[in-house]
Amino acid sequence: MFFDPMYFLFIAPALVLALVAQMWVKSAYASAQRMPAPLTGAAAARHVLDSSGLTDVEIEQIPGHMSDHYDPREKVLRLSGDVYASRSLAAVGIAAHEAGHAIQDAHNYLPLVVRNLAVPAATFGSNFSFLMLIAGMLLSAPPLILVGIGLFGLVVFFQVVNLPVEFDASARAKTQLVSLGIVDAEGMTYVNRVFNAAAMTYVAATLQAILTLLYYLMRFSGGRDD
């Protein structure tokens, strides 16, 4: 089941989409990184946050590449060095996107609330679903297999809920970047490419999770029939 070539055929559409998305992200990011912006990523994020009344949200620089994120528990927006200090359209776009998550949090955006609540369950499901599936197969115990499938379903739920959260954060970022005059119409072409490419990676991850869950269900059903 876990080394079945059929599995890779089953999730092939998601794998192809993920590959295309990664290539698109690299290309879009590289192009936008070469285009100058009037502010650094950190300054753009600060402008977006302050204009939304979120002066209490701090901005920190963290190590890593593409490690940018908003921490809703500590109310801190963390930006990688490439984004924090860079005056590029890529940097301000990514920074504004993360600021969009802070705005969602301040407005209690329902999908974000649900996603945040689902994080522990999805993490648990990701860590233990495979173990339950293996144990169920080795012990010929269908209930354990069902538990494993159910745990992986938590991962799928998180991925599905995550989609509107990411799409909405990008939409908020676009609005703020334009309304605040940080990026002009021509510059938004590059920013939109980055956002659209990133969106495809989320879609690919969600599709892979869904197809994997369907594969598990198919194999479990087939095994019971046999």
CB neighbour class for 188 (10 Å; exposed up to 12, middle 13-18, buried from 19): middle
Task: State the average pLDDT for the chain.
Answer: 94
Q: How many CA atoms lie within 13 A of 161 on its CB side?
A: 18
- Taking alpha carbons only, the member of 114, 117, 101 closest to residue 168 is 101
- Tally DSSP H helices, then E strands, for the chain: 8, 3
Instruction: State the Cα angle at 18 between 176 and 169, rounded to 5°.
Output: 15
pLDDT for 137 equals 87
For 197, residues 6+ apart whose C-beta sits below 8 A from its C-beta are 21, 24, 25, 27, 28, 29
Phi and psi, residue 139, nearest 5°? -95, 0
Q: Which two tokens stand for residue 101?
A: 């998550």
76 strand-pairing partners: 58, 71
Quick one: pLDDT band at residue 110, thresholds 50, 70, 90?
A: very high
Which positions are catalytic? 98
pLDDT surpassing 80 at residue 91: yes
pTM above 0.85, yes or no: yes
- pLDDT tier, 65 (very low <50, low <70, confident <90, very high otherwise): confident
pLDDT, one tens digit per residue, over 4-53 is 788 899 999 999 999 999 999 999 999 999 999 999 999 999 999 999 99
pLDDT, residue 186, reads 95
The answer on pLDDT for 2 being more than 90 is no
Say what the pLDDT of residue 171 is: 98
**Amino acid letter for position 116:** N
Q: Which helix (H) or strand (E) holds 201?
A: helix 185-225
Residue 47 CA to residue 52 CA, distance in Å, equals: 9
Count CB neighbours of 2 within 10 A.
9
pLDDT for 113: 97
Give residue 212's pLDDT.
95
Identify the DSSP state of 10. H
In the predicted model, what is the mean pLDDT of residues 75-102? 97
| The pLDDT value given to residue 224 | 54
Q: What is the pLDDT at residue 61?
A: 97
The pLDDT score that the predictor gives to residue 223 is: 57
Burial class (CB in 10 A: 0-12, 13-18, 19+), 224: exposed
**Residue 86, helix vs strand vs coil:** coil
**Euclidean distance between CA atoms 124 and 101, whole angstroms:** 24
Q: Write the pLDDT tens digit of every residue in 162-186.
A: 999 999 999 999 999 999 999 999 9
| pLDDT in the model for residue 159 | 97
Tokens standing for residue 64: 């890593």
Q: Using one digit for the tens of pLDDT, what is the confidence trace for 121-169?
A: 999 999 999 999 999 988 989 999 999 999 999 999 999 999 999 999 9
For residue 3, the model assigns a pLDDT of 63
